[in-house]
Amino acid sequence: MTASNLAPNSHSCSRFAAVIIVAVSSQRGMFITFEGLDGCGKSTQLERLGSNLRERGLDVTATREPGGTPAGEKIRQLLLDARTVSLDPYAELTLMFAARAQHLREVILPSLDEGKILLCDRFTDSSEAYQGGGRKLGSAIVLELHRLLCANLQPDLTILMDSDVATSVDRARRRNQAKAAPSADEGRFERENRSFFTRVHASYLEIAKREPQRVVVIDARGTPEQTHAKIVKLVNPKLESLSPSRRTLGVR
């Protein structure tokens, strides 16, 4: 896990970065994120991995973005509510990072500092893919906000679940329609067109190509059981970085 220093002319941001750097340098936990298109099954796979790790005696925290904190969940409602219309792409990106900054301070850093394995459903890669790619804002502004507000904190492992665009979006739309209440329809992004999600998908693959040491692409086109087995096989060796008393000896 890495964090880079910030520009010397930004005192407040530098102080925030120093807090993150201290936490990261002293933490004993592991930060794993799940990424992918809506409907690819990442939330289900995060839950399955969490259960698998807990069964093996590991201390796991599962969280999500946007959200993860009381303030973040309120921002999530605004961002995902299908009734939120005419939201400027830059406003959307800024709200994502507002929720993320709170999430970082309130959940992510404390969990890592306590030595937990933190499983997060989406992180900054989602902003780069959805706002940078889908909304055509570009990667530069997303990465700069991540540097300023998150001190460039990177996950130890990002599991990018690759799936067919049409299949995933259709699944997400059916899911939201099935569970949506009149006052809580979280289908705002699913209402975007095919071109939007094609750009999101392409952006994800570009991130994986740029950072192969962190981002691992998992083919999620098989059954949930097959995908889970691939993820466990991927994660197991990563646990070797934990203290000997907390390592796993086998795969379930």
- Per-residue pLDDT, averaged over 121-141, amounts to 98
Q: At residue 221, does pLDDT exceed 90?
A: yes
Higher pLDDT, 109 or 21: 109
Does residue 27 register a pLDDT over 70?
Answer: no
Residues 160 and 204 sit within 8 Å (Cβ to Cβ): yes
Contact 206, 200 (CB under 8 A): no
Residue 152 reports pLDDT greater than 70: yes
Q: How confident is the model at residue 181 (pLDDT cuts 50, 70, 90)?
A: low
**Domain 11-242: what homologous superfamily?**
P-loop containing nucleotide triphosphate hydrolases (3.40.50.300)
Question: Quick one: pLDDT at residue 12?
Answer: 53
- pTM for the whole thing? 0.85
Spatial separation of the C-alpha atoms in residues 163 and 77, rounded to whole Å: 26
- Close Cβ partners of 108 (under 8 Å, ≥ 6 residues apart): 31, 63, 118, 120, 153
Q: Return the pLDDT at 166.
A: 83
Mean pLDDT in residue range 211-220: 97
| pLDDT of 172 strictly over 80 | no
Neighbours of 194 (CB within 10 A): 10
Q: Is the pLDDT of residue 251 over 50?
A: no
Domain boundaries, the chain: 11-242
The chain-wide mean pLDDT, for the chain, equals 86
3-class SS of residue 77 = helix
Q: Give the distance between the most distant pair of CA atoms in the chain.
A: 52
Alpha helices in 56-164 (DSSP H): 70-80, 89-103, 109-113, 124-127, 139-150
